[in-house]
């Protein structure tokens, strides 16, 4: 079963606009991560937010976390054509042995039109 679910599944915006993607999860977490995947490539880590944090920034990225609603959002400001990719949230709400497993959502496909 999937822990994180992204919304929307697809998003098309004009270059320069902001893009917002949401992630909802089911069980309590310690951390939530966001990854980007360019077409035909592997995933690349973008940002991690801990359960005791509410907001985190990295360049043009802003991530928020609301543990009471079990949701997170990723905001990309002033989008560029190069931001076109799929974005995945990953949560750690499972414990395997003494370690943690990441559960990935199904992703949001972002298209930034020039």
Partner 1 sequence: NAGVTQTPKFRVLKTGQSMTLLCAQDMNHEYMYWYRQDPGMGLRLIHYSVGEGTTAKGEVPDGYNVSRLKKQNFLLGLESAAPSQTSVYFCASSYSSLSYNEQFFGPGTRLTVL
* Nearest distance, CB of residue 14 and partner 1, angstroms: 25
Q: Which is nearer to partner 1, 46 or 112 (CB)?
A: 46
Taking a C-beta distance cutoff of 8 angstroms, is the pair 93, 3 a contact? yes
Longest dimension (CA), the chain: 47
Minimal distance in Å, beta carbon 29 to partner 1?
8
Closer residue to partner 1, CB minimum distance, 14 or 99: 99
Handedness of CA 40, 8, 105, 73 (dihedral sign): positive
Which residues would be at the binding site for partner 1 (CB under 8 A)? 2, 4, 9, 30-31, 33, 40-45, 48, 50, 88, 92, 96-97, 99-107
CA 33/CA 31 separation, integer angstroms: 7
Cα separation, 67 vs 24, whole angstroms: 10
Nearer to partner 1, 6 or 83 (CB): 6
As measured in angstroms, the least distance from the Cβ of 83 to partner 1 is 19
């Amino acid at each position: 079963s999937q822990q994180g679910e992204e919304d929307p599944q697809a998003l098309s915006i004009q270059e320069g606009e902001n893009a917002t993607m949401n992630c909802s999860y089911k069980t309590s977490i310690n951390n939530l991560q966001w990854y980007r995947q360019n077409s035909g490539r592997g995933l690349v880590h973008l940002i991690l937010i801990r359960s005791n944090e509410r907001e985190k920034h990295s360049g043009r990225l802003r991530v928020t976390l609301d543990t009471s609603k079990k949701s997170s959002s990723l905001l990309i400001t002033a989008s560029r054509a190069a931001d076109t990719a799929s974005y995945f949230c990953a949560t750690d709400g499972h414990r395997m042995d003494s370690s943690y497993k990441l559960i990935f959502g199904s992703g949001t496909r972002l298209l930034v039109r020039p």
